[in-house]
A and B are shown apart, each in its own frame.
Chain A
């Protein structure tokens, strides 16, 4: 198990290296620079000075090695656009909002999705399962900004019962959480239902029944653990996606989160901030993937017992 974790950790670091490289070259391939924006016209010497200060006048491979060195040591320069603000400061300012909202959305999705999926798999009612299928199909195909706008219009404007700007009070979390959750709830519900149905039709369930095991115990003891694996495999990446912020939802609800920050850093060609955020988000995603793999291993004895 330990060597398994170490191996995954090594892969994670390699992935991070590749990610940072790809981000660097992608970033460089977008035309424009942090100091040449349409509305801000600076004198040429001023721009040259700034380029020199941030090393942008160096050949591209030198810039690459500098960036990689900074990325790997976690030592990022200040933002190129927001003068005087360090990348760490910007992350510290924007990440908590995204994290809190993401956690709400994730756990809400997981609980509702697993509960609905389990109910669907155990229910013999065709109607109930039909309703679930229709709702989850919608949830999977409708984009979340549409859900968000619908919710805002219905519950924020037409019948103004819930706030739609910012994240000041717990009430503020409800609408963005719902908007973020509809899709993952649908996915988790379907995964749970299908995989639980699949497990229920396995031979070992027949053997468990032949021992006189109660239906309740069959579900709790024999099914859930096995049925949860596909759900876990999906939930890990979904968890990272949710806590790393959604630009669309954060913009719609005016939440100063990291998703919003990331997109504005790209449109502002804020190279240091882009690299910093990319590496930060990359580390989160990789760590959570690792955690997911470890959890899956714990759930399945075959992996757990491998040396």
Chain B
């Protein structure tokens, strides 16, 4: 097991109190695996990933839980001082764990050259000369498919397109061949045409280096293509997780149903695009029961008062919904989900 996160909680202090961005989240990641994390905007995906690396903004704080990476405890609470923690994390960041960010336009320093920004991560973790680092940077640019790499190294971010900048960010993330890459919506800010290219580069490079990936997105299409396992997040919690086929063809949580129904159908006739009605809850005051209760057409009375535990579907597939309780009434699953179930049955 490469990464094990247990009962992680994170909050942000704001003027209106604290936002419970991540609420008691646990998951694991095996070596070489690609874990997809999906959920609506604001459900805490970025906060969760940044908590792992200790990269929260000034007002953010991990309030509980443990994080074990490659056999070592790296949660903030395992260290006696901020300084000790930062020191430990700095040996992991960029060398063992690389991060790819959402917006390539804002994550590169506008006043440093591309070369300097790639070389920095190499020099942070290797005792080599600047020339050697520059040579390695050149190699990396070729690896992520940048034309004219010698020229690019000397340029500044504003001289590059969004797609190229995202390749640079990928090059930075893989520079020291990390065991894990956390990619936080790496294609969301890109043109559709560029998205596929960038995605393929990330996929190829990670396959070649046998890097594990945690891939955050709200695009289920990407997840289907890329991930081995999927975790679905809602309002700061994971509500369902399982193998990618299990989540796509045999989903159990009404929120996952909603997400799957809102994927635009390519072949289907021009159907009105489905959107889950309502809005996610305000995480300043997290709900007592199931956070999805107010938007859930299949809600049971108990959802309003008690948070559902995880129910086992298979050895690898769990979902936190009272619908899976043996005492729950049988519900009529929406038609498109029933179709999915049928495909699933044919498969297995």
Contact = CB atoms under 8 A, between A and B. Distances in A.
A210 interface: yes
B166 to A, nearest CB: 12
A11 interface: no
B165 to A, nearest CB: 11
Among A202, A208, A213, A305, max chain B CB count under 10 A is at A208
Interface in A194-219: 201-204, 206-215
Contact of B107 (A207, A226, A302): A207
A209 B57 CA distance: 11
A300 interface: yes
Nearest to A214: B90
A226 B111 contact: yes
Interface in B89-103: 89-95, 98-99, 101, 103
B2 interface: no
B172 to A, nearest CB: 6
Contacts of A206: 50, 55, 101, 107
Given A204-B108, A222-B112, A301-B158, A211 B120 contact: yes
Interface in A156-193: none
Contacts of B90: 212-214
A207 B166 CA distance: 12
B125 A212 contact: yes
Contacts of B103: 203
Contacts of B159: 305
Interface residues of A, number: 23
A204 B110 CA distance: 8
Given A203-B101, A210-B98, A226 B121 contact: no
A225 interface: yes
A225 B116 CA distance: 14
A299 interface: yes
Interface string B146-186: 00000000001011000000000100110000000000000
Contacts of A213: 90, 94, 120-121, 124
B92 A215 contact: no
A212 B93 contact: yes
Contacts of A299: 111
Contacts of B57: 201
A201 B58 contact: yes
B111 A212 contact: no
B188 to A, nearest CB: 14
Given A203-B101, A203-B106, A210 B94 contact: yes
Nearest to B86: A215
Contacts of A305: 156, 159
Given A226-B111, A299-B111, A207 B172 contact: yes
B65 to A, nearest CB: 21
B198 interface: no
Contact of B156 (A208, A226, A302): A302
Contacts of A225: 111
A210 B101 CA distance: 10
Contacts of A226: 109-111
Contacts of B108: 204, 207
B67 to A, nearest CB: 16
Interface of B: 50, 53, 55, 57-58, 86, 89-95, 98-99, 101, 103, 106-112, 120-121, 124-125, 156, 158-159, 169, 172-173
Given A212-B95, A221-B112, 17 more contacts: A202-B106, A204-B109, A207-B99, A210-B53, A210-B93, A210-B94, A210-B99, A211-B124, A211-B172, A212-B90, A212-B93, A213-B94, A215-B86, A221-B120, A301-B158, A302-B158, A305-B156
5 contacts: A207-B109, A213-B94, A213-B121, A214-B90, A214-B124
